[in-house]
Amino acid sequence: MEQLKAVILAAGKGTRMKSDLPKVVHTIEGKCLVDYAIEAAIGAGAEDICLVVGYKYEVVRETILHQEVNFVLQEEQLGTGHAVRCAKDFLGDEGQTMILFGDTPLITAETLKRLREYHTENKNTVTVLSAMVEDPTGYGRIIRDADGNFVKSVEHKDASEEERASHEINSGMYIFDTRELKEALEKIQPNNAQGEYYLPDTLTIIKDKGLKVDAFALSDPEDIMGVNDQEQLKSAAEIIRRRNQAK
């Protein structure tokens, strides 16, 4: 297997949490949300991990259990593509890079291993972790052609009515060929409803080079559920307790 690094996006304030704390340091069972993502990355084989931090980054640095990770500061929140670009010196030019979120404590090493195996076996340049959901409102959609081949990922705000009919959502988690990721990051532009640098735009850039872009779809979206408010934090805590009891 090639060298694997992981970049975990953890810069957000998390306004909907109604708390002064950075979102990723809220805890479940005594462990920060971002620690769950770090452990999943380590379990999937990531040798080096970088947290992209922003809001109250000192609190994140002091609070997390895993002190062996690297940190890079995203001073302005200009989108997911910009966040990953902040970590470009960490990426290097070799192997594979996994992109994860600091507010998805339900992601497991097992799912990330399966994503990596699928990516490697299918000789993909980038593979999106996706999932089928009943109500995809608000999520970026995976668009496929009539044969089921990946066409593109489009944000909900920028999607047409037809594209919004897709129930396959982009989790925001990926595995990339590192060299191609770095090249594509330099080319993305903020030409969208939010005026942000979207990481999914790298997929189109890579695909337009004739390289292979694909999505690995989970039948159960539980693993990719994010935590944006106190209700979702409670739901995630219940799932983690259930999983711990089942061990």
Note the pLDDT of residue 125. Answer: 98
Is 85 considered catalytic here?
no
User: Nearest CA to 63 among 92, 93, 22, 103?
Assistant: 22
Q: Which CATH class is domain 4-246?
A: alpha beta
Is residue 127 within 8 Å of residue 170, measured between CB atoms?
no
Q: Taking the model in full, what pTM does it have?
A: 0.95
pLDDT tens digits, residue range 42-54?
999 999 999 999 9
What is the C-alpha to C-alpha distance for residues 10 and 76, in angstroms, rounded to an integer? 13
Q: Give domain limits for the chain.
A: 4-246
Note the pLDDT of residue 49. Answer: 98
pLDDT tens digits, residue range 92-148?
999 999 999 999 999 999 999 999 999 999 999 999 999 999 999 999 999 999 999
Is residue 2 within 8 Å of residue 95, measured between CB atoms?
yes
Note the pLDDT of residue 194. Answer: 84
Q: Which residue in the list 16, 141, 179, 243 is annotated as catalytic?
A: 16
pLDDT band per the 50, 70, 90 thresholds, residue 14: confident
Least confident of 16-20, 41-45, 202-206, 234-238: 16-20
pLDDT band per the 50, 70, 90 thresholds, residue 12: confident
